[in-house]
Amino acid sequence: GAGVSQSPSNKVTEKGKDVELRCDPISGHTALYWYRQSLGQGLEFLIYFQGNSAPDKSGLPSDRFSAERTGGSVSTLTIQRTQQEDSAVYLCASSFEAGRTYEQYFGPGTRLTVT
Amino acid sequence: SQQGEEDPQALSIQEGENATMNCSYKTSINNLQWYRQNSGRGLVHLILIRSNEREKHSGRLRVTLDTSKKSSSLLITASRAADTASYFCATDPNDYKLSFGAGTTVTVRA
């Protein structure tokens, strides 16, 4: 079946503008994750959704970042008043369930550039 | 904060040679996973090894895990140009939040 999809693939925005990044997880996957990867770095966990439970937002770097997941499927990551340090690749992943034995399937990412 | 740390940071080998990279981590884990990333985009899951396993094979990949040393290794045998990528280890100290290292960049020369 279809993998995790993300849109847009690339986004260039001016400092101070808001951006929305979208993630469509694999159908049937109940867990959804957002990560951020800065140039040459590993992945930084941002937020996690599992079913209808309250999301784990512990990785969000500031209150300018927020995310929602509607209907247990599509998720949107919003960054308000973007700063240059927000430039990175934002990766979404989903898994069948949250838990220690499930691999995560990643989307192709959105490359965000803040000018 | 990053839990895993890969070593070396970069590796260049000739096609047909083996590539070995290591991962060290800090806290106890439930499992350890290796992922591959091409061209700075999405990651592809390669292999998962549980904390009670010592070695696992998948095709040309061999992963070892030593929980007493808190370390893992990934061996790619008979490397190919298509193996050129960045390789990340990921651990799950908190069940679902994978913690990734900074990765090993592997270049396979034809």
Q: How confident is the model at residue B76 (pLDDT cuts 50, 70, 90)?
A: very high
Nearest Cα to Cα of residue B91 among B80, B99, B79: B99
Q: What pLDDT does B40 receive?
A: 63
Using only C-alpha atoms, what is the Rg of chain B? 13
Q: What pLDDT does B34 receive?
A: 95
Token pair of B102 as six digits: 């900074």
Residues 24-83, chain A: which have Cβ within 8 Å of B?
Answer: 31, 33, 35, 37, 40-43, 45, 48, 50, 56, 59
Name the residue in chain A with its Cα closest to that of B105.
A40
pLDDT reading at B41 higher than 80 = no
Average pLDDT of A91-104? 79
3-state secondary structure chain A: CCCCEEECCEEEECCCCCEEEEEECCCCCCEEEEEEECCCCCEEEEEEEECCCCCECCCCCCCCEEEEEHHHCCEEEEECCCCHHHCEEEEEEEECCCCCCCCCEECCCEEEEEC
Mean pLDDT of chain B: 90
Q: What pLDDT does B48 receive?
A: 92
Q: How confident is the model at residue B28 (pLDDT cuts 50, 70, 90)?
A: confident
Residue partners of A1: CB distance under 8 A and separation at least 6? A26, A27
Nearest Cα to Cα of residue A13 among A109, A87, A105: A87
Chain A neighbors of B97, CB-CB under 8 A = 33, 45, 48, 56, 59
State the Cα torsion A98-A101-A107-A108 to the nearest 10°.
Answer: 140
Q: How confident is the model at residue B97 (pLDDT cuts 50, 70, 90)?
A: confident
pLDDT reading at A45 higher than 80 = yes
Q: What pLDDT does B49 receive?
A: 93
pLDDT reading at A11 higher than 90 = yes
Q: How confident is the model at residue B77 (pLDDT cuts 50, 70, 90)?
A: very high
